[in-house]
């Protein structure tokens, strides 16, 4: 019979510090410690979704789609990189390491976003379980060996190997070539996994962000992109959403981030060594864990930008996003400025020489014709009518001249006929 696991005793100071600083879309947040009559309770964020271990079991004997696994891995890499880069108030790196990543500690939400769970283990002063040896880096089993962020890189690569290929590590190394065991795994993905699963930490990627960039290159090169909607659809098909059990809420929410009845002071840095709380939990199970639903700020859409309600002052140019987490930013574009048209100078008119002035006498302007008006008719409203056409001059009408010429021509013929007859 296995010995019961020791009770998890956490530091309220650490929990408060993580509740203040550990806010990232790819992390399941620790909200703090709440003290009630039965003892302290550790408050965690409740994320609607399923853990990766349950998804792997639900897909058995098939494997999860490689595109879905890589999308989950990239989200986890973002969360781990944020955790590794946390700094205190003075700007000093805290050097936090998860050191226990496993499929059961990766929550895939029904919104299609993967989040790294298990941050409450970083708050533990006693009772922290050992990491799963199937996903632990080799240096974690050596006493006195320094463990840094590259251990989380190793664990994330081992999780990808398990989820996408169904393979487990043997003595901390890949058992067989992945592309031969699983034909649909490209060679580029296998190369990235082999580098991240190196036994020597110096041969692995230096950070989770570097691993994410390498996986992103494989996604672009092999065409393995998956959107959050596709991830959410895969989760809903494997494990449909069920109403979660009602969790008991704390009776005094205003004391959620308080320790021992007083506000827990924000430390200048989060200590890595063990810190023993002055107030021990009164319950036999140590710290109870409750889940609290916290509204998250939605990420900006990755598609086309929303239409603005008002016209912008200057024209904008939409910049294509680098990945699905990058928002489209409007970049102001300078309006085109065309040079004003040059004014056309009037052409000078030379005066007429005096010897030609007699040949072209000045013509007086014609007087304006008076406007024609119809006489008023009794009983009718005045209506504006168009003026009548100008009268035709008889001797200048072309029809009259042609007709008169023909008459004279035939008259001449008749007179000549009579004279000769």
Residue tagged 């895969």 (tokens): 234
pLDDT value of residue 385: 64
The pLDDT, as a whole number, for residue 292 is 64
pLDDT tens string for the chain (421 positions)?
455 556 677 788 888 888 888 889 999 998 888 776 666 778 888 889 999 999 999 998 888 999 999 999 999 999 999 999 998 888 888 889 999 999 999 999 999 999 999 998 888 878 788 888 889 999 998 766 789 999 999 999 999 999 998 888 877 777 777 777 777 889 999 999 999 999 999 999 999 999 999 999 999 999 999 999 999 999 999 988 665 555 554 444 333 443 334 444 444 444 333 333 334 443 344 455 666 666 665 544 444 344 334 444 444 333 333 333 334 344 455 555 556 666 676 666 666 666 655 555 666 666 776 655 555 555 555 556 667 777 767 667 778 888 888 888 888 888 888 888 6
Q: Which two tokens stand for residue 411?
A: 């008259």
For residue 62, being part of any structural domain is answered with: yes
At 96 the pLDDT is 92
- What DSSP letter does each residue of 276-309 carry, written as one string? --SS--SSTT-SEEEEE--PPPPPPPSSSPPPPS
In a domain, 84, yes or no: yes
- What does the chain come to in residues? 421
Burial classification of residue 286, based on how many CB atoms lie within 10 Å of its CB (0-12 exposed, 13-18 middle, 19 or more buried): buried
Structural domain contains residue 101? yes
Please state, in angstroms and rounded to a whole number, the distance separating the CA atoms of residues 107 and 49: 6
In a domain? residue 53: yes
Residues of the domain holding 259: 9-292
- Give the Cα separation of 403 and 394 in Å (integer): 12
How many Å apart are CA 102 and CA 135, to the nearest integer? 6
Does a structural domain hold residue 61? yes
Residue 64 lies in a domain: yes
Q: Determine the pLDDT at residue 83.
A: 94
Whether 168 is in a domain gets the answer: yes
- Amino acid 224: pLDDT: 93
Q: Is position 325 within any domain?
A: no
pLDDT at residue 117 in the model: 94
Contacts of 207 (CB under 8 A, 6+ apart): 81, 84, 149, 153
Q: State the Cα–Cα distance between residues 294 and 47, nearest whole angstrom.
A: 8
CATH assignment at residue 36? 1.10.510.10
Reference 214, options 52, 326, 99, 74; nearest CA is 74
DSSP three-state, residue 417: helix
The total number of structural domains in the chain stands at: 1
Q: Whole-structure pTM over 0.75, yes or no?
A: no
């Amino acid at each position: 019979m296995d010995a019961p696991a020791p009770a998890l005793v956490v530091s309220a100071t650490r929990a408060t510090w993580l509740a203040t600083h550990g806010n990232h879309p790819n992390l399941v947040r620790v909200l703090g410690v709440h003290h009630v009559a039965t003892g302290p309770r550790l408050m965690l964020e409740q994320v609607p979704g399923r853990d990766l271990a349950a998804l792997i079991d639900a897909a058995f004997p098939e494997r999860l789609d490689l595109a879905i696994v890589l999308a989950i891995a990239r989200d986890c890499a973002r969360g781990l990189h944020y955790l590794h880069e946390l700094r205190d108030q003075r700007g000093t790196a805290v050097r936090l390491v998860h050191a226990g990543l496993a499929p059961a500690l990766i929550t895939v939400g029904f919104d299609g976003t993967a989040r790294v769970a298990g941050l409450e283990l970083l708050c533990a002063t006693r009772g922290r379980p050992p990491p799963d040896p199937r996903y632990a880096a080799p240096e974690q089993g050596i006493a006195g060996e320094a463990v840094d962020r590259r251990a989380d890189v190793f664990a994330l690569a081992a999780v990808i190997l398990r989820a996408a290929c169904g393979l487990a590590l043997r003595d901390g190394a890949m058992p067989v070539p992945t592309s031969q065991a699983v034909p649909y795994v490209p060679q580029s993905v296998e190369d990235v996994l082999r580098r991240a699963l190196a036994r020597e930490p110096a041969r692995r990627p230096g950070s989770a962000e570097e691993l994410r960039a390498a996986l992103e290159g494989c996604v672009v090169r092999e065409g393995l992109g998956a959107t959050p909607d596709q991830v959410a659809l895969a989760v809903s098909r494997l494990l449909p959403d069920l109403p979660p059990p009602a969790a008991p809420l704390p009776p005094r929410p205003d004391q959620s981030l308080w320790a021992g009845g007083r506000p827990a002071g924000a430390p200048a840095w989060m200590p890595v060594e063990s810190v023993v709380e002055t107030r021990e939990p009164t319950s036999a199970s140590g710290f109870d864990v409750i889940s609290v639903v916290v509204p998250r700020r939605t990420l900006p859409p990755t598609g086309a930008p929303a239409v603005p309600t008002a016209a912008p002052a200057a024209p904008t140019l939409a910049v294509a996003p680098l990945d699905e987490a990058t928002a489209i930013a409007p970049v102001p574009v300078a309006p085109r400025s065309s040079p004003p048209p040059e004014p056309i100078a009037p052409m000078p008119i030379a005066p007429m020489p005096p010897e030609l002035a007699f040949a072209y006498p000045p013509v007086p302007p014609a007087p304006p014709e008076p406007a024609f008006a119809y006489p008023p008719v009794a009983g009718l409203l005045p209506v504006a009518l168009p003026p009548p056409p100008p009268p035709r001059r008889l001797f200048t009408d072309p029809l009259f001249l042609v007709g008169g010429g023909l008459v004279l021509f035939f008259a001449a013929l008749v007179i000549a006929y009579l004279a000769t007859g």
